[in-house]
Amino acid sequence: MRTIRIVGIALALTAILMTAGQFRSLPGRFVSVAHAAQTGCSNSSLRGNYGFQIKGTIVGLGPIGGIALSTFDGGGNFTQTDNVSVNGFPIVPNRPGSGTYNVNADCTGTQTLHQAGGQVVHTTFVIAENGKEVFDEVTDSNLVITGVGKAVGSADDAEEDDSSPFACSLQTIKGSYAISTTGSIVSAGPVGAVADVGKLTFDGNGGASQTTTVSLNGTIIPSRSSLAGSYTVNPDCTGELSLTLPTANGPIPSTSRFVIVASGNQLLLVNTGVGRVLTGLATRQHLRMW
């Protein structure tokens, strides 16, 4: 019975993430968004790719955190893939989903996500920053979850006659980023709350390093530097970061999945380790203009 319950909850979570992720879109026709700023919003105000990050709790189960990449067609339909951690259970990589959305003239809206197994998740949202950001909340019972979605690219990245999405590579995130991570370890480690802040650096060729000050359940570990690191980036602006971290019991691997947003100026991350519900935000230290 416990296994069945866990699977059902995982599906619900997935739906949630996907729902939240739906709100992020960015490529092509941000002219629609600019127009919306003058005349009000419509379904066309969400068009293209958005990275999304969610945080919250599933009542009766535990914490949830994740990221999603959502693609809006500007006409009320979207597709999505997500990577979600639910109470430390293993993440299902790139879980697919699809659904519908409706944007009101006042730039509020609702969304419905459908996924495998018949799971349905509902969300309410508000569009901000002329379509560059979306704030959402899951409205189904027993799900206390909010999310923030950000356009993968910017209005300047796509002209009105060019619907191609913003494409990423290793070079897109070359340079240094300030990073902050919060969440909890629920198993397979020192159980408790986690927070860290520091610097994450990408060399543009697949190599990465990180130095952070960490609070593990209230115990401070200053200036913890990675022993080794690497990263991959896909053309759709998703990717994976792998770091080897020092501990008192020897080196351990730490892997996160991420979505690149704001034309490479930010990363939305979720740790994929078993027992971890950790989400992070990394922002370029020397910003490039959108």
Query: What mean pLDDT is predicted for residues 26-52?
Result: 68
Third-level CATH fold of 2-157:
Lipocalin (2.40.128)
Tell me what pLDDT residue 2 has.
41
Return the CATH number of the domain spanning residue range 170-284: 2.40.128.120
Tell me what pLDDT residue 289 has.
58
b/e per residue 8-45 (b: at least 16 CB within 10 A): ebbbbbbbbbbbbbbbbbbbbbbebbebbeeeebbbbb
According to DSSP, residue 164 is labeled: P
The conformational region for residue 40 under phi > 0 = left, psi -120 to 50 = alpha, else beta, is: left
**Cβ–Cβ < 8 Å for 196, 180:** yes
**Cβ–Cβ < 8 Å for 233, 168:** yes
Strands (E), 74-174: 77-86, 95-103, 108-114, 120-128, 133-138, 143-151
Average pLDDT, the chain: 86
- 2-157 and 170-284 share one CATH topology? yes
Domain ranges of the chain: 2-157, 170-284
pTM of the model: 0.84
**Interval 232-256: pLDDT, tens:** 999 999 999 999 999 888 999 999 9
Per cent of the chain over pLDDT 90 is 75
Checking if the pLDDT of 13 tops 50, the result is no
Tell me what pLDDT residue 249 has.
86
**Interval 179-207: pLDDT, tens:** 999 999 999 888 999 999 999 999 999 99
Checking if the pLDDT of 208 tops 80, the result is yes
